[in-house]
Amino acid sequence: MLLKPKVIAVVLLMGLQQAQAESIPAPNEAVQPAEAGIPASADDRPEGDDGPASETLTPAEPALTGLLVDRTITMIGKTFFQRFSQLRLDSVILSNTSLAIHERPSARWGSIVWVSEGTRILFEATLPPRLSDVDQYAEAAVGQVEQLVLKSKVSQALQSDGDLADDEF
């Protein structure tokens, strides 16, 4: 026996409506926690005005601090990065500060290197082509960056205005 598509659709629709009507409780019926899929222990929790009591949550601190990102390209830039990272570990201030070291190589001028914290550039220099001079630039960079980070942390501690954000443009 072949049924037409309209008849099949009507039969399926009626069956679906009947199945939904059987599974939905009447408005005045009480639903037991086990029937609703809620474990019995959830029913035992103390309840406040806005629902069951839960644990108090504390705000999480930033998970990653003290990162040093290497964005250098050439051998001179990599040498600067390595020396800067070694000297930075000795500094208490810089060891908890996230920094990035960028490089723009130039055939005419040498490599331009800058150290940034977020969007703020803390140190910028043009490195000479000789590798032996890079250590002096790294030492100067650590000293200058340390002073600027310390100065910004002190000014943030003294000026706690909620209306002023760190990076507003």
Looking at residue 158, its pLDDT comes to: 84
Looking at residue 66, its pLDDT comes to: 86
Per-residue pLDDT, averaged over 18-30, amounts to 54
CB 141 within 8 A of CB 123: yes
Instruction: Quote the CA–CA distance of 167 and 120 in Å, as a whole number.
Output: 9
pTM score above 0.85: no
For 51, the enclosing helix (H) or strand (E) is strand 51-52
Instruction: Quote the CA–CA distance of 78 and 43 in Å, as a whole number.
Output: 61
- Sorted by where each starts, the structural domains of the chain and their CATH numbers stand as 68-158 (3.30.160)
The two structure tokens encoding residue 28: 């005045």
Instruction: Quote the CA–CA distance of 112 and 98 in Å, as a whole number.
Output: 20
Instruction: Quote the CA–CA distance of 93 and 125 in Å, as a whole number.
Output: 22
